[in-house]
Structure 1
Amino acid sequence: MTGPSRPDRPAEGDRPRGYARERGDRPGADRRGGDRFGGDRRGPRRPARPAVDLPRQVAYEAIAAVHRDDAYANLVLPAMLREAGLSGRDAAFATELTYGTLRHTGTLDAIVTDAAGRDVQRIDPPVRDALRLGAYQILHTRVPAHAAVSSTVDLVRSVGPGATGFANAVLREITSRDADAWVAKLAPAEETDPVGHLSLAYSHPQWIVRSFAEALGGDMGETARLLIEDNERPPVHLCARPGLVDPVALADEVGGAPGAFSPYAVYLPGGAPGDLRAVADGRAHVQDEGSQLVADALAAAPLDGPDGRWLDLCAGPGGKSGLLGALAATRGARLTAVEVAEHRARLVEQATRGLPVTVLHTDGRDVGSDPKLPEGHFDRVLVDAPCTGLGALRRRPEARWRRQPSDLPPLTRLQRELLTAALRAARPGGLVAYVTCSPHVVETHVTVTEAARRCGFAVDFVDARPMLPAGMPGLGDGPTVQLWPHRHGTDAMFLALLRRN
Structure 2
Amino acid sequence: MSESGGNAGGRGGSGSGAAGGGQNNSGRGKGGPRDSSQRNAQGRERNRPSQRSFTENAPAQRTRRADPARLVAFEVLRAVAAEDAYANLVLPSRIRHHGLDKRDAGFATELSYGALRGQGTYDAILARCVDRPLDQLDPAILDALRIGTHQLLAMRVPAHAALDQTVGLARAVIGAGPSALINAVLRKVSAHTLEEWLELLLSDETDETRIASIRYAHPEWIVRALRQSLVAHGRSVSEINDLLDADNAAPVVNLVALPGLGSLDEALEGGATPGELVEGSALSSGGDLGRLASVREGSTRVQDVGSQLVARAMAAVDLGTGTGSDGAGERWLDLCAGPGGKAALLGALARQQGATLLANEPAPHRAKLVRQALAAVPHEIWHVRTGDGREVGTEMAESFDRVLVDAPCTGLGALRRRPESRWRRTPKDLTDLGPLQRELLKSALAAVKPGGVVAYVTCSPHPAETTAVVSDVLRKRDDLELIDAGAVLDGVSLTGHLDAGHEHTAQLWPHIHSTDAMFLALIRKKA
TM-score w.r.t. the length of structure 2 is: 0.83
**Deviation per CA, 1:279-337, whole angstroms, max 9, x where unpaired?**
22232211111000001001111112134111111111111111111111111111111
CA contact (8 A) 2:394 2:446 kept: no
**Deviation per CA, 1:416-474, whole angstroms, max 9, x where unpaired?**
000011111111111010000011110001011112224x4521010011212243333
Partner of 1:282: 298
User: Is 1:166 paired with 2:157?
Assistant: no
Partner of 1:471: 496
Q: 1:367 is paired with a residue of what secondary structure? A: helix
Work out the CA distance in 2 between the residues paired with 1:274 and 1:417. 38
**Deviation per CA, 1:32-56, whole angstroms, max 9, x where unpaired?**
xxxxxxxxx9846899654332211
CA contact (8 A) 1:412 1:447 kept: yes
**What is the CA distance between 1:76 and its match in structure 2?**
1.7
Work out the CA distance in 2 between the residues paired with 1:457 and 1:264. 38
Work out the CA distance in 1 between the residues paired with 2:298 and 2:76. 30
Partner of 2:26: none
Q: 2:115 is paired with a residue of what secondary structure? A: helix
CA contact (8 A) 1:383 1:422 kept: yes
**What is the CA distance between 1:219 and its match in structure 2?**
4.0
User: Is 1:92 paired with 2:117?
Assistant: no
Match for 2:282: what amino acid? V
- Pick from 10, 13, 20 the counterpart of residue 12 of structure 1: 10
Match for 2:463: what amino acid? V
Work out the CA distance in 2 between the residues paired with 1:57 and 1:481. 42
- Pick from 234, 241, 258 the counterpart of residue 274 of structure 2: 258
Q: 1:43 to 1:84 in 2, by over 3 A?
A: farther
Trace 1:173-212 onto structure 2 (pairs within 5 A).
173-187=188-202, 192-212=206-226
Work out the CA distance in 2 between the residues paired with 1:409 and 1:214. 16
**What is the CA distance between 1:67 and its match in structure 2?**
1.2
Q: 1:429 to 1:12 in 2, by over 3 A?
A: same
Q: 2:88 is paired with a residue of what secondary structure? A: helix
User: Is 1:323 paired with 2:345?
Assistant: yes
Partner of 2:230: 216
Work out the CA distance in 2 between the residues paired with 1:278 and 1:51. 39
Partner of 1:344: 366
**Deviation per CA, 1:129-166, whole angstroms, max 9, x where unpaired?**
11111111111011111221222222333314223333
- Pick from 309, 317, 322 the counterpart of residue 293 of structure 1: 309
Trace 1:72-151 onto structure 2 (pairs within 5 A).
72-151=86-165
Task: Give the percent of matched residue pairs that are identical in Structure 1 and Structure 2.
Answer: 49
Match for 1:496: what amino acid? A
**What is the CA distance between 1:195 and its match in structure 2?**
1.0
- Pick from 441, 445, 458 the counterpart of residue 467 of structure 2: 445
Work out the CA distance in 2 between the residues paired with 1:200 and 1:128. 18
Q: 1:429 is paired with a residue of what secondary structure? A: strand
Match for 2:200: what amino acid? K
Work out the CA distance in 2 between the residues paired with 1:103 and 1:157. 25
Work out the CA distance in 2 between the residues paired with 1:368 and 1:421. 4
Match for 1:462: what amino acid? I
Q: 1:495 to 1:379 in 2, by over 3 A?
A: same
- Pick from 443, 450, 460 the counterpart of residue 421 of structure 1: 443
User: Is 1:404 paired with 2:426?
Assistant: yes
Q: 1:323 to 1:254 in 2, by over 3 A?
A: farther
CA contact (8 A) 1:313 1:422 kept: yes
Q: 1:109 to 1:252 in 2, by over 3 A?
A: closer
Work out the CA distance in 2 between the residues paired with 1:459 and 1:196. 42
Work out the CA distance in 2 between the residues paired with 1:339 and 1:73. 23
- Pick from 337, 344, 362 the counterpart of residue 387 of structure 2: 362
Q: 2:515 is paired with a residue of what secondary structure? A: coil
Q: 1:128 to 1:460 in 2, by over 3 A?
A: same
Q: 1:16 to 1:383 in 2, by over 3 A?
A: farther
Work out the CA distance in 1 between the residues paired with 2:71 and 2:262. 41
Match for 2:346: what amino acid? L
Partner of 1:385: 407
Partner of 1:242: 259
Runs of 5+ in structure 1 lacking a partner? 1-9, 18-40
Work out the CA distance in 1 between the residues paired with 2:246 and 2:300. 26
Which segment drifts farther, 418-427 or 302-311?
Answer: 302-311
Runs of 5+ in structure 2 lacking a partner? 1-7, 16-47, 54-59
Partner of 1:63: 77
Work out the CA distance in 2 between the residues paired with 1:13 and 1:315. 42
Which segment drifts farther, 375-384 or 216-225?
Answer: 216-225
Work out the CA distance in 2 between the residues paired with 1:471 and 1:72. 35
Work out the CA distance in 2 between the residues paired with 1:477 and 1:440. 14
Work out the CA distance in 2 between the residues paired with 1:180 and 1:53. 28
**What is the CA distance between 1:96 and its match in structure 2?**
1.1
Work out the CA distance in 2 between the residues paired with 1:215 and 1:480. 13
**What is the CA distance between 1:102 and its match in structure 2?**
0.7
Q: 1:350 to 1:156 in 2, by over 3 A?
A: closer
Work out the CA distance in 2 between the residues paired with 1:85 and 1:259. 31
Work out the CA distance in 2 between the residues paired with 1:496 and 1:369. 22
Which segment drifts farther, 49-58 or 281-290?
Answer: 49-58
Q: 2:82 is paired with a residue of what secondary structure? A: helix
Work out the CA distance in 1 between the residues paired with 2:246 and 2:418. 13
Q: 1:425 to 1:172 in 2, by over 3 A?
A: same
Q: 1:252 is paired with a residue of what secondary structure? A: helix
Equivalent residues, number = 463
Work out the CA distance in 2 between the residues paired with 1:314 and 1:254. 34
Q: 1:181 is paired with a residue of what secondary structure? A: helix
Work out the CA distance in 2 between the residues paired with 1:108 and 1:233. 17
Work out the CA distance in 1 between the residues paired with 2:166 and 2:300. 41
**What is the CA distance between 1:251 and its match in structure 2?**
4.7
Q: 1:302 is paired with a residue of what secondary structure? A: coil
CA contact (8 A) 2:483 2:524 kept: yes
Partner of 2:36: none
Work out the CA distance in 2 between the residues paired with 1:95 and 1:43. 44
User: Is 1:493 paired with 2:510?
Assistant: no
Work out the CA distance in 2 between the residues paired with 1:472 and 1:362. 38
